[in-house]
Chain A
Amino acid sequence: MAPERITGRSLLYYLFLSLPLFAFFSSIFIGPFHINPVQLVDLMASKILGYATDYPDVYSTVIFQVRLPRLLLGMMVGASLSVSGAAFQGIFRNPLVSPYILGLSSGAAFGAALSLAFLPGVSIQYAAFFFSLLAVALTYFMATTNRSTPIVSLVLAGVIVSAVFDSLLAVIQIAVSERALQSIVFWIMGSLGTASWSKIYGAFPLFALGCTVMLLLRWRLNVLALGDEEARSVGLNPEKYKIIFIVSASLAASSAVAVAGIIGLVGLVVPHMLRMIFGPDHRTLIPLSLTFGASFLIVVDDFARAGLGFEVPVGVITTLVGAPLFAYLLRTTRSGGWE
Chain B
Amino acid sequence: MNPGVITEGISLSYNSRLVLGDVSLQLRKGAIVTLLGPNGCGKTTLLKIINGLLRPDSGKVYVDGYDVSRMGQTDMARLMGHVPQTQRSSFPFTALDIVLTGRMPHISALSQPGPRDLEKARQAMDMVGASHLSSRPYTQISGGERQLVMIARALAQEPSFLLLDEPTSYLDFKNQHQVLKMISRIARDQKVTVVMTLHDPNHALMFSDELVLLRKLTEKECGDEQKFKGESNCNHQNVVAAGRPAEVMTPENIFEAYGIEVEFINVRKRLILLPL
A residues sitting closer than 8 Å to B (CB atoms) are 1, 5, 90, 93-95, 216-220, 222-223, 225-227, 229-237, 275, 279-281, 283, 334-335, 339
Contact = CB atoms under 8 A, between A and B. Distances in A.
Interface residues of B, number: 37
Contact of A93 (B73, B90, B92): B90
A275 B91 CA distance: 9
A287 to B, nearest CB: 12
B135 A226 contact: no
B112 interface: yes
A220 B139 CA distance: 20
Given A233-B51, A233-B84, A234-B157, A94 B104 contact: no
Overall SS of chain B's interface? mixed
B194 to A, nearest CB: 15
A233 B164 CA distance: 12
Nearest to A236: B104
Given A234-B105, A234-B157, A235-B74, A219 B89 contact: no
Given A219-B107, A235-B78, A335-B91, 17 more contacts: A1-B112, A5-B135, A95-B91, A218-B112, A220-B104, A222-B100, A226-B88, A229-B53, A233-B84, A233-B154, A234-B102, A234-B157, A235-B77, A235-B105, A283-B112, A335-B90, A339-B90
Given A226-B98, A233-B53, A280 B113 contact: no
A91 to B, nearest CB: 11
Given A223-B101, A234-B77, A217 B88 contact: no
Contacts of A232: 53, 73
Interface string B143-177: 00000000001100100000000000000000000
8 nearest CB pairs, A to B:
A235-B77, A280-B91, A93-B90, A233-B82, A234-B104, A235-B105, A219-B112, A235-B74
A335 B139 contact: yes
Interface string B65-76: 000000001111
11 contacts: A5-B135, A218-B112, A230-B84, A233-B51, A233-B82, A233-B84, A234-B105, A236-B73, A275-B91, A279-B92, A280-B92
Given A229-B84, A235-B105, A335 B77 contact: no
Contact of B81 (A95, A218, A233): A233
A264 B12 CA distance: 48
Nearest to A338: B90
A280 B86 CA distance: 21
Contacts of B107: 219
Nearest to A333: B92
A334 B139 contact: yes
Contacts of B113: 219
B91 A225 contact: yes
B80 to A, nearest CB: 8
B52 to A, nearest CB: 8
Contact of B73 (A235, A280, A281, A283): A235
Contacts of B73: 232, 235-237
Contacts of B154: 233
B93 interface: yes
A90 B91 CA distance: 9
A304 to B, nearest CB: 32
Contacts of A234: 77, 101-102, 104-105, 153, 157
Contacts of B98: 226
Nearest to B91: A280
A339 B89 contact: yes
Contacts of A94: 90
